Structure 1
Amino acid sequence: MKKLKIVTIGGGSSYTPELVEGFINRHKDLPVSELWLVDVESGREKLEIVGNLAKRMVDEAGIDMQIHLSLDRRAALLDADFVTTQMRVGQLKARILDERIPISHGMIGQETNGAGGMFKAFRTIPVILDIVKDMEELCPEAWLINFTNPAGMVTEAVLRYTNFERVIGLCNVPFDMKHSFASILDVAPEEITMELSGVNHHVFVTDVFHKGKTVMSTILDKYVSDSEETLAMKNFDALSYSPDFLRGLGAIPCPYHNYYYFTQEQLAKNLKEFEAGTVRGEVVAKLEAELFELYKDQDLKVKPKQLEQRGGAHYSDAACSLIDSIYNDRKDIQYVNVRNNGAVSNLPLNSAVEIACVITGNGPQPITVGPLNPKINGTIQTIKSFEQMTIEAAVTGNVDLAITALSSNPLCPSDRLAGIVVRELLEAHRDYLPQFKR
């Protein structure tokens, strides 16, 4: 078996122990011999803390996997087989600004939706495109597995603005939804597959299968009969949908749809958090401080249970499973962000969609779903247009286009407010937005 070199950019992330655990658990079938954890100078301390924990975890597991810590991205990328990205440009301080500035103007502030998602894309996309340039030179046959949010927009930016095709966007939401459905049916998650339609963080489950047989009516009946049943997330409180709405929709919205179907309720909650100094980024900052104190403990040699309180918990299962399936040509079904190419017939061919794919040694093969049902088509088309304008603005630094994009998003009350929020966020993040300097 070919031994693998994997590079994780954003290696100082609090999520890294989960990724390391995933590689440890799969080492028999996925022989990772080198794991390079890469970060920037401002993340040096966290990289060293989490990197030393990773080394203790590998030693405890007794496997042959070398952990390398580096601030030199290009040196790390040379001859890599897989590259994973889990970075946060501007760190948590930037996230808090993304949340607090829109809320201060009566607009929802959220990490991956609306104004917050737009500015995370603005900071992230140019960096990802630079990483891809390095990969084209140093490891052109490697797969880029991107978990950095907004995952769909980041993936689409690579597909639209580079010639690099070996990119896959990844999110833990479909993974969590699949496990929730398995729990509802009291069956093993491996027995469940889903049909997805939409884009990252704005996707609907339009069918659920148990051992190849549809059980969607059973899933919907469960949701309709129990109005408290919901697919909750760690990073926000998801409200329950009404039975009438679910019966009419005939699909299960992902938890992030709460921001669009319960906008006023979520805004009211955001405003209370804003006043209390407990927007999600501020909560995460405290949680991360606690995690890194745990990570410093030289007696800690496994992933701590407390990591599950982070919003992206369990993503390593998705990331490691994806890498494992490509490496071993497993031909199983997983849920990823890839180029549409007609799989969803009424979305642009070159756009990224979140969809069920057969994972092969040659990468994901999308399972065609055809046209979007009119019940979900309108909201998905609106978000896709917002995404495409945001991506273009991220690359070109066009402020007018950024304002137009935010104005089109349902979370934005008016174009006037869009202009105010965009300009304030541009100023707040100016050090990380060189494309807008003109």
Structure 2
Amino acid sequence: MRLAVVGGGSTYTPELAEGFARLRDTLPVDELVLVDPDRERLALVGGLARRIFARRGHPGRITLTGDLDAGVEGADAVLLQLRVGGQAARQEDERWPLECGCVGQETTGAGGLAKALRTVPVVLDIAERVRRRSPHAWIVDFTNPVSIVTRALLTAGHRAVGLCNVAIGLQRRFAALLGTDPAAVSLDHVGLNHLTWVRGVRVAPSGGPGPGGGEGQDLLPKLLAEHGETLADAVGLPHALLARLGAVPSYYLRYYYRHDAVVREQREKPSRAAEVAGIERELLELYADPALDHKPELLSRRGGAYYSEAAVALTAALLGPAVPRRAAPGAVTGGGTDRSGADGTPAPARVQVVNTFNEGTLPFLPDDAVIEVPAQVGPGGARPLPVRPLEPLYTGLIAQVAAYERLALDAALRGGRDRVFTALLGHPLIGQTDRAERLTDALIAHNRDHLAWA
């Protein structure tokens, strides 16, 4: 099995290498190709990845290259984890929206649109080259903004699934609070990428079906009653709000539910981008140590927790035996053995929270919207599982953000100031003409080097 990681020089990569090495029985990688144009950085990250494999006794080969075409040649799967413009562009995304009274964030609001405009054309070019060099490869997109990037890939006909670590992070947190095996925990997780709510948490009974089955009592009320303050702190929202909703919103909902308070905080404190840039400098210094043969603890502060576990599970499912459509009710995340092969023998199934086409799952959205829900994943792709009806509080916001994402993709594909303005006007965190005008001019000014039409 040959896997390629585009953006292999990312400081995230040792997390991936550790996961591939530790979970090699799930995903037996013969060759891991790290692709990155920054040769110096790639050498540091790749050297640590090789030492991690060696320490774990992994027999696979790690190849480093700056040649994208050679890197993806013959790949079974290609993981995308790139950042067009680097941390410098991220710092800009988190700064100029604040000047207009809007949240400064790299995936939400005006900063998120800027990232989409820079990223979509680059990702589509990469995907076309993957299609020419390895037409049967799956593309796993971890590149933000995941919804918009995945929609671009799927709309262009690529074999792609979007992945985020929010769901697996919450699953692990709930499992720790319940004192149970994370693999047994399933979530009713629904929404769009970085716009999701967990409305139920279930644990598979001992000896019962795997967590793909959705059986068991809903333990979310118990979690909120006993650990509400802890969960509220984790997602940056008031405990009273979680209690009122009876749900756990993703961390990114704070940018909607507490927008003005977050803007005040961001104006008073150093940006997250500045913090991440400092962490990355320290990490690269650590990676240069030839004695280091494991991912350092500092990497946990970089973000992306459990990314490797989620990526291994998804890639293994996409490259495994065929998965038939499953009609079981409920919304879950996890794994299990829930199907049989043609001869009746059990074959592994995978239910995992991913980003893929809606296809009628949320009836108030068009089929080609990209949603983040539990899906049955196999070599045929990801098929969303049925979702119980959503409350109007959620459907309204989801519908508006999904409409914005459609406008954002149009702007990324066709360019032009008017399309950028329309997308910003359609975003629920902006929605005012004077503010949208100012943000449009600021976005173009700060991203001109990355916009072919500007």
Give TM-score, length-normalised by structure 2: 0.88
Cross-structure match for 1:229: 230
The answer as to whether partners of 1:102 and 1:108 remain within 8 angstroms in 2 is: yes
Selected match of 1:61 from 52, 56, 63: 56
Q: Secondary structure at the match of 2:231?
A: coil
Structure 2 distance, partners of 1:93, 1:384, is 28
Of the candidates 334, 353, 359, which is equivalent to residue 335 of structure 1?
A: 353
Task: Give deviations 1:155-205, integer Å, cap 9, x for gaps.
Answer: 011122x122x2010000001111122223221111111122210000112
Query: Is 2:70 aligned against 1:78?
Result: no
Q: Are 2:153 and 1:151 equivalent residues in the alignment? A: no
Q: Aligned ranges for residues 131-142 of structure 1 at < 5 Å?
A: 131-142=126-137
Unaligned runs of 5+ in 1: none
Q: Which amino acid aligns with 1:213?
A: E
The Cα offsets for residues 390-438 of structure 1, whole Å up to 9 and x where unpaired, read as 011010103212112212223226221222122112121111111x32x
Matching residue's letter, 2:256: Y
CA 1:173 to 1:319, structure 2 compared with 1: closer, same or farther past 3 Å? same
Matched, 1:177 2:170: yes
* 1:248-284 deviation digits (Å, cap 9, x = unpaired): 43432111101111112111111102xxxx1010110
Q: Which residue of structure 2 aligns with residue 425 of structure 1? A: 443
Instruction: Give the secondary-structure state (helix, strand or coil) at the position aligned to 1:257.
Output: helix
Counterpart contact for 2:146–2:162, Cα < 8 Å = yes
1:30·1:327 contact (CA, 8 Å) conserved in 2? no
**Aligned equivalents of 1:99, 1:152: Cα separation in 2:** 19
Q: 1:383 aligns with which of 397, 401, 411?
A: 401
- TM-superposed deviation, 1:230: 2.1
Q: Does 1:128 align with 2:123?
A: yes
**Alignment partner, residue 219 of structure 1:** 220
Match of 1:12 in 2: 9
**Partners of 1:121 and 1:149 within 8 A in 2:** yes
**2:294 corresponds to 1:294:** no
Q: Report how far residue 225 of structure 1 moved.
A: 5.7
Offset of 1:55 from its aligned partner? 1.6
- 3-state SS of paired residue (2:366): coil
Aligned residues: 419
Q: Deviations over 1:123-164 (max 9, x none)?
A: 11001111111122111111100000111110011122x122
Query: One-letter code of the match for 2:177?
Result: I
Structure 1 window deviating more from structure 2 (10-19 vs 410-419): it is: 410-419
Indicate whether 1:320 and 2:312 are aligned.
Answer: yes
Shift of 1:347: 1.1
SS of 1:369's partner is coil
Deviation at residue 328 of structure 1 after TM alignment: 3.6
Counterpart-to-counterpart distance in 1, 2:303 and 2:250: 14
Q: Give SS of 1:207's match.
A: strand
Seen in structure 2, the aligned counterparts of structure 1 residues 8 and 232 have a Cα distance that, compared at 3 Å, is farther
Task: Give the Cα–Cα distance (whole angstroms) in 2 for the partners of residues 125 and 17 of structure 1.
Answer: 25
Which segment drifts farther, 358-367 or 343-352?
358-367
Q: 2, 21, 30: which one pairs with 1:33?
A: 30
SS in 1 for 2:94: helix
**In the alignment, what sits opposite 1:399?**
417
| Residue identity in the other structure for 2:307 | Y
Partner residue of 1:112 out of 97, 107, 114: 107
% identical equivalent positions: 37
Please report how far the alpha carbon of residue 370 of structure 1 lies from its aligned counterpart in structure 2 after TM superposition: 5.4
**2-side partners of 1:301 and 1:8: how far apart?**
20
Residues 8 and 42 of structure 2 are in contact (CA less than 8 Å); yes or no, is this contact kept in structure 1? yes
**2: CA distance, partners of 1:387 / 1:302:** 38
Distance 1:376 1:147, change over 3 A: same
Aligned to 2:157: 163
User: C-alpha separation between the residues in 1 aligned to 2:242 and 2:295?
Assistant: 38
Structure 1 residues 59, 151: closer, same or farther in 2, change over 3 A? same
Q: Give the conservation status (yes or no) of the 8 Å contact 1:204–1:252.
A: yes
User: Is 1:304 equivalent to 2:293 in the alignment?
Assistant: no
Task: Give the match for residue 186 of structure 2.
Answer: 193
Matched-pair contact (CA < 8 Å) for 1:37–1:68: yes
TM-score when normalising by structure 1: 0.91
Matched with 1:265 is 261
Could you tell me how far apart the structure 1 residues matched to 2:97 and 2:424 are?
11
Is contact 2:220–2:247 with CA below 8 Å preserved after alignment? no
Alignment-derived partner of residue 249 in structure 1: 245
Pick aligned residue for 1:240 from 218, 231, 238: 238
Separation in structure 2 between the aligned mates of residue 241 and residue 36 of structure 1, nearest angstrom: 44
Other structure's SS at 1:229 match:
helix
CA distance in 2, matches of 1:226, 1:232: 10
Matched with 2:82 is 87
Q: For the residues of structure 1 that align with 2:157 and 2:381, how far apart are their CA atoms?
A: 16
CA contact (8 A) 1:87 1:148 kept: yes
Q: Secondary structure at the match of 1:32?
A: coil
RMSD: 1.7
Do 1:404 and 1:415's aligned partners in 2 also have CA atoms closer than 8 Å?
A: no
Contact 2:231 2:248 in 1 (8 A): no
Q: 1:140 and 1:156, CA in 2 relative to 1: closer, same or farther beyond 3 A? A: same
